[in-house]
Amino acid sequence: MQDVLAVVTVVVVGLMVGVEFAVAVFVNPILDRLPNDGGVEARSDGARVLGRVMPFWYIGSVVLGAVWSTLTWGDAGASLVAAGTALLVVSVVMSILLLVPINSRVATWSQEGVPADWKQQVGRWDRFHYVRVGVIVLAFTLFAVALV
């Protein structure tokens, strides 16, 4: 049972890392290069869609990590799982305090109605997102090493 939980946790967190990495490194830079601020509506739609899905994915990942950590407490690798879970908690706190407020504003934008400082706002979100991606990549790495 613990092995199944470990694999499920690594897969769920790994997929989340992949999505967030793709947004940071590929999707948003591509949207930012669209002519005539064409990426505004795409970012807004992405903020709405991912804003509904990602909270469940992040919290679910924390729960999986916490259960895995609890079940393996005292075993080899348990400290790696606990540290990875703690990093996921950090990513959730970062999300709530730093990224969600910006994301909530972006979700309301349209091509006709964006604030004058919209580029600064998405730039700030992107910088926070890069840090969050680093945190969850490290959490995923700790989980993967603990699995071995």
pTM: 0.93
Question: What pLDDT does 36 receive?
Answer: 81
Each residue of 32-64: pLDDT tens digit?
Answer: 999 887 888 899 999 999 999 999 999 999 999
Write out pLDDT tens, residues 1-31: 889 999 999 999 999 999 999 999 999 999 9
What count of other Cβ atoms lies within 10 Å of the Cβ of residue 93?
Answer: 10
Of 9-18, 59-68, 77-86, 102-111, the poorest mean pLDDT is in 102-111
Q: Which of 96, 98, 121, 97 is nearest to 108 (CA)?
A: 121
Reply yes or no on whether the pLDDT at 97 is more than 70: yes
Residues whose CB falls within 8 Å of the CB of residue 73, separated by 6 or more in sequence, listed in order: 82
Both structure tokens of 100:
């969600």
Residue with tokens 């071995």: 148
